Structure 1
Amino acid sequence: LYRRLAGVRDLNELMQIKGMGQAKAATVLAALEIGRRIASARPLDKIHFGCPQDGAAFLMPRLRYATKEQFLVILLNSKNKVIGTELVSEGSLTNSVVHPREVFLPAILQHAASICVAHNHPSGDPMPSIEDRQLTAVLLAAGKTLGIPLLDHLIIGDGAYYSFQEDGALEV
């Protein structure tokens, strides 16, 4: 039940639960959103991405229970401190459409020194697909061209993550 509730983002979904009217569902939905925000709340300038575990710890509360794929770009300064996060794409249960221009636009506009990208696998299994590997190669090459390096691509699963950097898979 907790896992199901953690991923709820729609009022109608909550109202399917017996005894849950619109007012109660709205209250529960608001409480869930507050919980998600508190779980991932820290001043961004205090968050440092020194290793893939840091990135996974930052992203896990936000992405672990999402029921649709979400693709994020994390913007980093020259000391690998977070200066912002942007939702690039929200897709379906199994994929989301991502293009390098949408990934790097926030990095350019916010003067990021580098980026980390991340998405979730609602299935819970963080192992990358062929498409994930292809996208990572495209983003790595685009980052080199733009002078905004891609430091990692993290895939968040259910309590687990995959890091392209840790796996040595950030090669063009």
Structure 2
Amino acid sequence: MRQPTASLSIKNWSEADRPREKLVRHGKTVLSDTELLAILLGSGSRHESALDLARRILGDNDHNLGKLGRLSIHQLMSYKGVGQAKAVLVSAAMEMGRRRQMADTGIKSAVKCSRDVFELLQPVLGELPHEEFWIVYLNNANKVIFHSQLSRGGITGTLVDVRLVLKKALELGAVALILAHNHPSGTLKPSAADKQLTEKLKKAAVALDIKVLDHLIITETNFFSFADENIL
């Protein structure tokens, strides 16, 4: 059986090469993704340093932080040297990063095109394994005044209550709505149900003098706009 060697421990490296010390001395931006993940892991196993473990995990996920963020606790724990505590820490850090991206996107002063809505909601919907339906509420200057999840469903669909959509619009004084939901399958083609729901909401909103400006289908990297395709 292979015996552990002292060199595997990051503590035995020179301070200039240790990820934690590098971050303190030079700032977080100088660290690679591997080094940042190694800091979260804290340690490796008897035969692998935290840095080597981090490199292996990232390599298995094409060095894509999006893929890493989608790993479950169980999947992270499948790596030798990653127990539940480490897996939870990594998962929590990935979720914090996703939420920060959402916060940094911010609420735009005004929605000028479909891509503005995509950039607002992609951090929320883009990587979800299940389907969610969201509503963006706008004032008369097309400024976003509120956006929220209306429903959450399985991978094949979600239920939408038209009454709740319009009730919230009236409470907020919104004059326009943008509908959005994700397709976990990655397809951008709207289903018959998507089209029917859009028409149903559009007709119901007209009675209250509220406009439905668009309906976006969002995936991890792209989107489909009903308005852009002239099928609204």
TM-score category (smaller protein): 0.7 to 0.9
| 2:136 aligned to which of 74, 80, 83 | 74
Shifted more, 58-67 versus 34-43: the winner is 34-43
Q: Paired residue for 2:173?
A: 111
Shifted more, 58-67 versus 21-30: the winner is 21-30
Could you report, residue by residue, the CA deviation over 1:102-121 in whole angstroms, capped at 9, with x for unpaired residues? Answer: 22222122221211010000
- Measure how far apart 1:7 and its partner are: 3.5
Change (3 A) 1:137 1:13: farther
1:6 to 2:43 alignment: no
| SS of 1:150 mapped into structure 2 | strand
TM-score (norm 1): 0.88
Residue 77 of structure 2 contacts residue 84 of structure 2 at CA under 8 Å; is this kept in 1?
no
Could you report, residue by residue, the CA deviation over 1:23-79 in whole angstroms, capped at 9, with x for unpaired residues? Answer: 2222122212211122122442x3421111111121112111111001000111111
Could you report, residue by residue, the CA deviation over 1:69-95 in whole angstroms, capped at 9, with x for unpaired residues? Answer: 010001111111111111101101110
Letter in 2 for 1:96: T
Residue 14 of structure 1 contacts residue 20 of structure 1 at CA under 8 Å; is this kept in 2?
no
Q: Paired residue for 2:116?
A: 54
- Measure how far apart 1:13 and its partner are: 4.3
1:63 to 2:132 alignment: no
Change (3 A) 1:75 1:23: same
Change (3 A) 1:26 1:47: farther
Residue 86 of structure 1 contacts residue 106 of structure 1 at CA under 8 Å; is this kept in 2?
no
Write the distance in 2 (CA, Å) between the matches of 1:125 and 1:103.
Answer: 25
Structure 2 unmatched runs, 5+: 1-60
Letter in 1 for 2:210: I
Q: Paired residue for 2:219?
A: 157
Change (3 A) 1:74 1:97: same
1:17 to 2:78 alignment: yes
Residue 77 of structure 2 contacts residue 87 of structure 2 at CA under 8 Å; is this kept in 1?
no
Letter in 2 for 1:7: R
1:86 to 2:178 alignment: no
Write the distance in 1 (CA, Å) between the matches of 2:208 and 2:139.
Answer: 15
1:126 to 2:188 alignment: yes
| SS of 2:168 mapped into structure 1 | helix
Task: Kindly name which structure, 1 or 2, has the bigger radius of gyration based on alpha carbons.
Answer: 2
Query: Larger relative CO (CA 8 A, sep 6+): 1 or 2?
Result: 1
- Measure how far apart 1:6 and its partner are: 3.1
Letter in 2 for 1:5: L
Write the distance in 2 (CA, Å) between the matches of 1:108 and 1:5.
Answer: 41
Aligned residues: 167
Shifted more, 76-85 versus 127-136: the winner is 76-85
Q: Paired residue for 2:54?
A: none
TM-score (norm 2): 0.66
Residue 69 of structure 1 contacts residue 120 of structure 1 at CA under 8 Å; is this kept in 2?
yes
Write the distance in 2 (CA, Å) between the matches of 1:6 and 1:143.
Answer: 38
Residue 122 of structure 2 contacts residue 218 of structure 2 at CA under 8 Å; is this kept in 1?
yes
Over the matched positions of the two proteins, sequence identity in percent amounts to: 38
Q: Paired residue for 2:209?
A: 147
Q: Paired residue for 1:36?
A: 98
Residue 73 of structure 1 contacts residue 103 of structure 1 at CA under 8 Å; is this kept in 2?
yes
1:101 to 2:163 alignment: yes
